[in-house]
Structure 1
């Protein structure tokens, strides 16, 4: 029953978090003993109470487990037989099963709390990402390395059963890919790829040289749907943001003079963007057309703004590509890969490019990724309770977000 429940849980949530750190358990123990300040009826407080209940359950189960273990120690002399009996004891196995189930419930509570209050701009529910692989420092070698990285992610997608589609390839006179853009689709996909975002470095001897050369490629990950949603929120303006004026439409004069004010001009005050429509003889129709035209203009404005910020960041990372923001180093001379985020080393570059080893590495990173979310959420909850101030939004704005 326990294994079946855990299997269903993993299929539904796919967070790849399987444990709570001892520091996190201590914080949860403190949390369930805390009194919730009755200063707000905000939904966050009912969610904290729910987390408190599950934390209390976990603490009680752990206490029971400690008692069982102690009793078992007292009746068994040999350490070896104690370990064997510990594995075979049905009561202890059942308790461990309950502890695992409640731990998963707590993790689920925390993830949902994070998405609802701590970082509403999260990408945890993303089902599609845009990946751009751009040649950095190193000329032809960098372009060739970009192509190799693309094939590595292509293999990764095949193994993980992700759909992917190459949208754009920009070549130059060197007959190699300078820029590769692809879209990858799958459940909870952003968490698989976001830590690939940065500088990938290759060290090897080029065909036409006898010296080791260091080249770089830059991987950029973007949740385009979230980006578009954020833009749409910005153009969901209020009446206070608009200045609407009407005037008579221009005409040929004489009997053709328009005596009604059918021309509509709308100014969006925050951006100073305006539109003017006198297409029909109906003021209402012209106003509706003007509103739609204004929304289109504002969408293009904010999209270009986001794009320019992205390109600016891209340019800054290109300039520092050989010095910082390193994700991994692929050293062909020694046939090793060094992951700088986890500080781990893998042998066999060609085998790594096949995708299976990359899955192991990414799963390891996701554990750290979700542990950071748990730490951040618990910190937020304690700050919220200790502050005893009303608006949650104020704290949310002050909170440092994991995603950018």
Structure 2
């Protein structure tokens, strides 16, 4: 019946005097206008249903071909650090805005956002901050946010605002998959633990107790500090968590080097040092340089909701296409 209705509708425009069914010719006059309209509506509904099914099957086939990333389901450690410019306050203010954006995005995705470290700067800015984000496929969605984010704007506050000209600054984002304790084991003998007095905000414990903790992983030289909490024990726990994530990242880098991947969007040390996105406030435009994608309305983008999610979905789709291309190229080479 469905096929018959489709054939009827498809033939009406090209042969208005005749309606063709399953081998039988029906005079057009036998169908009144109401019947014809109903047939067309039924056919269009069927067509839309079939198109949706085809698109769904295509999407499922596409996803089945994409090589699965080992760490996509992991939680993440997200770190932001302000860059340097002639007006350092512009970088620090921008760093706070980006950190707030990811916090809002975590709420938008129903993820848990746990603040680990927060070092404020003057004029409401931010020097450095770190957070653990946990939930459904967090690393999958945030892994392409790591890199250098550039801002172009006329500062509204701070020393730079006096000049009333466009300033350019940067900040960096690092996204590390958070391992389970079984993934990374740290031998206590490999750690040097230093304690010192906290320097930031925090109440009466500042400069009165050695609550801040510095961990040095002797074999790798990695150094982690934490002075977020009033308790030395809690600061040590947070520092260990960050250290474990950084050691885990080294394992991932080694793994990826062995795979010898050539993807442009590959996450790793190279990507973390590249400029990935520019936020031009004077033109009210966000540009992602990796996929040449532009978003208007910076304020809405920095809310960390629909606009950011749409960009992240485009990045994921682009990365999937590259992964399939690489997969097919490798198979063609091996077949020769």
* Alignment TM class, shorter chain as reference: 0.5 to 0.7
| 8 A contact 1:123–1:226 mirrored in 2 | no
**Counterpart residue number, 1:163:** 112
For 1:25, the equivalent position in structure 2 comes to none
Say whether residues 1:77 and 2:14 are aligned partners: yes
Unmatched 5+ stretches in structure 1? 1-64, 116-120, 236-270, 272-298, 318-324, 388-404
- Partner SS, residue 161 of structure 2: coil
**Deviation (angstroms), 1:341:** 2.8
- Please show how residues 281-360 of structure 1 align to structure 2 within 5 Å: 303=247, 306=250, 313=269, 317=273, 325-356=274-305, 357-360=307-310
Compute the displacement of 1:108 (Å): 4.2
- Specify which structure has the bigger relative contact order, considering alpha-carbon pairs within 8 angstroms and separated by 6 or more residues: 1
- Cα 1:78/1:381, change in 2 over 3 Å: farther
Corresponding position: 1:369 with 2:319: yes
For 1:109, the equivalent position in structure 2 comes to 64
Unaligned 5+ runs, structure 2: 17-35, 155-159, 188-218, 220-242, 255-267
- 1:377 CA drift (Å): 3.2
The structure that is strand-richer by fraction is: 2
1:152 aligns with 2:108: no
Alignment-derived partner of residue 393 in structure 1: none
Bigger helix fraction: 1
Aligned to 2:146, which of 188, 194, 197? Answer: 197
Q: Does 1:215 align with 2:164?
A: no
Q: CA deviation at 1:191?
A: 2.5
Q: 2: distance between equivalents of 1:78 and 1:132?
A: 66
After TM superposition, give the deviation of residue 177 of structure 1 in Å: 2.3
CA pair 131-106 structure 1, distance change in 2 beyond 3 A: same
Task: Please state whether the residue corresponding to 1:207 is helix, strand or coil.
Answer: helix
CA distance in 2, matches of 1:155, 1:304: 26
- 1:132 aligns with 79
CA 1:342–1:227: 2 relative to 1, 3 Å: farther
- Residues 296-348 of structure 1: CA distance to partner in whole angstroms, max 9, x if unpaired? xxx99x939939x99x959x93xxxxxxx222222222333223233233333
CA shift, 1:213, in A, is 1.2
User: Is 2:54 the partner of 1:99?
Assistant: yes
1:122 to partner: Cα distance: 3.0
**1:371/1:72 CA distance change after superposition, 3 Å:** farther
C-alpha RMSD of matched pairs (Å): 4.3
Is the 2:148–2:170 Cα contact (8 Å) retained in structure 1? Answer: yes
Q: Is the 8 A contact 1:171 1:178 kept in 2?
A: yes
Matched, 1:188 2:137: yes
Tell me the residue number matched to 1:49: none
Are the equivalent residues in 1 in contact too, given 2:177–2:248 (CA < 8 A)? no
2:43 matched residue in structure 1: 88
Partner SS state of residue 223, structure 1: strand
